[in-house]
């Protein structure tokens, strides 16, 4: 089943109660990417307007010091900023991305964006939406126009390729992802195409889709986005894909996989925060562990959760508690 994805973001005035903490990433080894060493020496931007930061401030204002500390600690981790056309339409998204870029660059940090607006997104499931085939490339170009400092990591279209067979739109998806890569190439973004996860389908099938989409034009691919699979299983899956894609590099979403998966993808109980964003050794094609799905945000209206992407105190508390926080 498709991983649940962040759907919408709520605009908030930045709160000053959360400390901004970043994690270092090490230099990756050479591979298919044209951007050798693309992550070398980078630290990653912590968004002061992230929902975890807002929740921490709200808890503090109510005198709830326990929740404030828990949510604040989550907010301290560099986590991907999701770009959706529902929240930031074409006419507005360039300015939004540019503002994040400017703030991050001023702090000598790099923002991580998740681009999530492909047509027929999520096959109409919990994270349904996206743009028309005509509107979509214009929106992606508007995102690229905001990367004014050539300073961004992009996680490209979660589930798009992994769902293509199920959605019966393989040809369209491959063309859309390939076109996105061409759009982002001139602005120097470090792009990882979403590649599903280890419990979805065979690694060889995903590698074939990535090759058709032109993964050699990207830094590589991302796995486990918005899912809960154990890191070791994801590394095995990803290394197999890498071996079939001319050594493409990869990142793994570890935001909520501290206890692995129980087989559910939508707000499963008993899960835990995973390893913090961190560098990887040079003996692997894995560039990093990243927090791509923001912990504490719902997967959708399942197992008692609110709409996909909405903050959910209960989930944040459970994830943190089960991780020993």
Phi-psi sector, 220: left (phi>0), alpha (psi -120 to 50), beta: left
Query: What angle, rounded to 10 degrees, do the helices at 203-213 and 170-184 form?
Result: 60
DSSP secondary structure string for all residues of 92-148: HHHHHHHHHHHHHHHTT-B-EEEE---TTBGGGSTT-B---TTHHHHHHHHHHHH-T
Residue in this structure with the two tokens 């195409």, named with its chain if needed: 193
- The first and second tokens of residue 166, run together, are 């199920």
pLDDT in the model for residue 319? 98
Q: What is the pTM of this model?
A: 0.88
- The first and second tokens of residue 95, run together, are 């300015």
Three-class DSSP category at 192: strand
pLDDT in the model for residue 271? 98
**103 and 148 Cβ atoms separated by less than 8 Å:** no
pLDDT in the model for residue 42? 84
pLDDT in the model for residue 137? 98
Mind listing the domains of the chain with CATH numbers?
Answer: 77-292 (3.20.20.40)
DSSP secondary structure string for all residues of 197-217: -TTTS-HHHHHHHHHHHTGGG
Query: What angle, rounded to 10 degrees, do the helices at 313-322 and 51-61 form?
Result: 100
HSE-up of residue 59 (Cα within 13 Å, Cβ side): 22
| Residues of the chain predicted below pLDDT 50 | 1-36
The verdict on whether 194 is a catalytic residue reads: no
pLDDT in the model for residue 4? 42
Determine which one of 76, 159, 287, 299 is catalytic. 159
> CA–CA separation, 42 vs 23, rounded Å?
9
Query: What angle, rounded to 10 degrees, do the helices at 65-75 and 313-322 form?
Result: 80
pLDDT in the model for residue 15? 36
Q: What does the pLDDT look like over 44-70, one tens digit per residue? A: 999 999 999 999 999 999 999 999 999
CA-to-CA separations, 155 to 21, 67, 79, in angstroms, rounded: 21, 30, 12
pLDDT in the model for residue 253? 98
**What's the burial of 105, exposed, middle or buried (CB within 10 Å: 0-12/13-18/19+)?**
middle
Please give the backbone phi and psi of residue 283, each rounded to the nearest 5 degrees, phi first. Answer: -85, 5
pLDDT in the model for residue 11? 35
């Amino acid at each position: 089943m498709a991983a649940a994805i962040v759907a919408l973001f709520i605009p908030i005035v930045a709160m000053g109660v959360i400390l901004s903490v970043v994690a270092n990433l090490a230099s990756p080894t050479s591979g298919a990417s044209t951007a050798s060493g693309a992550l070398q020496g980078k630290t990653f931007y912590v968004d002061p307007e992230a929902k975890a930061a807002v929740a921490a401030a709200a808890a503090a204002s109510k005198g709830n010091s326990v929740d404030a500390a828990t949510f604040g600690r989550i907010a301290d981790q560099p986590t991907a900023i999701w770009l959706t056309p529902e929240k930031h339409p074409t006419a507005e998204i360039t300015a939004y991305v540019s503002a994040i870029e400017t703030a991050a660059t001023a702090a000598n940090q790099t923002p991580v964006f998740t681009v999530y607006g492909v047509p027929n997104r999520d096959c109409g499931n919990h994270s349904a939406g996206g743009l028309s085939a005509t509107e979509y490339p214009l929106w992606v170009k508007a995102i690229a126009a905001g990367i004014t400092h050539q300073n961004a990591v992009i996680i490209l279209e979660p589930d798009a390729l992994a769902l293509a067979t199920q959605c019966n739109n393989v040809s369209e998806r491959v063309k859309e992802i390939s076109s996105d890569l061409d759009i982002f190439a001139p602005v120097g973004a470090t792009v990882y195409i979403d590649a599903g996860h280890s419990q979805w389908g065979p690694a060889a099938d995903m590698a074939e889709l990535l090759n058709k989409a032109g993964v050699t034009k990207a830094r590589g691919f991302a796995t486990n986005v918005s899912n809960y699979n154990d890191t070791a299983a994801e590394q095995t899956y990803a290394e197999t894909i890498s071996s079939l894609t001319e050594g493409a590099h990869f990142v793994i979403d570890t935001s909520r996989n501290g206890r692995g998966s129980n087989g559910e993808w939508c707000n499963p109980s008993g899960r835990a925060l995973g390893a913090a964003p961190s560098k990887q050794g040079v003996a692997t094609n894995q560039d990093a562990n990243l927090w791509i799905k923001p912990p504490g945000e719902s997967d959708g209206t399942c197992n008692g959760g609110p709409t996909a992407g909405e903050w959910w105190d209960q989930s944040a508390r459970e994830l943190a508690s089960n991780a020993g926080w």
